[in-house]
A and B are shown apart, each in its own frame.
Chain A
Amino acid sequence: MQKATSLRDLDWVLIGLALTLAAIGVVEIYSTTAHSALAAQYKKQILWILLGFVLALVVSQIDYHIILEQTPWLYVLSVLALAGLLVGGRSVAGARRWMHLGGLTFQVSEMVKLVIILLVAGYFADKRSRYVTWGGLVKLGALVGLPAVLVALEPDLGTALTFIPIAVAGVFLAGIRARQVAVLCLLGLLALPVGWHFLRPYQRERMMSFVRLTHDTQGSSYQVTQTKIAIGSGGFWGKGIGNGTQSRLGFIPVSHADSIFAALAEEQGFVGTLFVLLLYLALLLRLVDGAQMAGDRAGAILLVGFAAVLFFQIAVNTGMMIGYLPVTGIPLPLMSQGGTSVLFTFVGLGLALSVKVRQFVN
């Protein structure tokens, strides 16, 4: 294992993919917010990307094992921060998701995502058996579940759900028996009615409208309808930058943030959709490839966990735009406007780079 790495050895293809996606995001943010009250958002986004990029380079220089060693106190800090938010956080639009630091707001759950990746990676790093034990599953479930529940209580069900694919990816790599999978699936099914009970009215409404049990043209299915109109009306070539009537005239909500992909589809057409999805695909496949070459199990899980969380967010975000999945507030990584999300995605990328640069060399 080399002690120091040079920047030249980093995976610049990965960095290039991430920066390209972020740049496309900036263009779309600019296009949908120009001449509106949010017109300056794209500049902020550029600053966050640059900051994230620098952070990624810094993190890539740190041996990920050293970072892994910080997991216990990072975890405790995360849980405390989440609990603190619930107790004393300022409510913005009915949710306590943001921590206020000076003049900046900070979405704690975005940071927790990375901590969960570290947690899962660390957890399986020294397990030697071929399959996880029930005890191990319960322990992991409790460790991941606690922050997830706290996030879900904010309420931010979408982000809470992103923790699950990390754990699933870890368990999958570490090995699990088919019988255990079956039992878990059954338990999950049984838990559904209980979960329904805990959903908030608007969340239930989203689920109902997703399965077409209710149809309110002005409510949550309105959102999906309008988003589909935006995407569909983009056609093959799109309407061109700044010409997306659906996104610019306010028919799609938060077209610069969560719904940015619909704005892209409207303005850049299927060509744009295809191009961006292929970039994401390349990014994900490259991360998984890197895991295969990782120096150790912890590194592999770090990469796959990061890929899992990205994949989950990309699939859910782009899938709900076309009605594949119920509406939930999940940003599109790298593209959606939002400082914390961009920053921690780049930090995650830094972690991935750190693993990749220290990969097993034979």
Chain B
Amino acid sequence: MRYTLLLYTDPADIAHMTPDDWEAEKQVYGAYIGALQEAGVFVDTDWLQPVDTATTLTLKGGSRQVQDGPFAETKETLGGYFVVEVPDLDAAMAWAERCPAAKVGKVEIRASAMGAFE
């Protein structure tokens, strides 16, 4: 089954990163990606720009409304995700536990709904 791990972290934790910080960050996440690939469960990942660059758009209510910022203000925000292909939720949880974001933020695990209603 396909699962998406949504990584929620406090943007203040990674504010004002220097190129060295960025390099160290990439190394740690790189090791995690390497472990996922080694196990043959890696599908996709991305690292998102901070939430203050978010734009939220809706047509709900009949008119196009654009909001500068995220749809909801929270202390911990979506900073990136991993998509993994594993047999079940237990396995997805084992990998979420290993994720570098889990130790400083929260990892939300969601199963893919694609094909679930066919």
* Same assembly: no
Residues in A lying within 8 Å of B, measured CB to CB: none
Residues in B lying within 8 Å of A, measured CB to CB: none
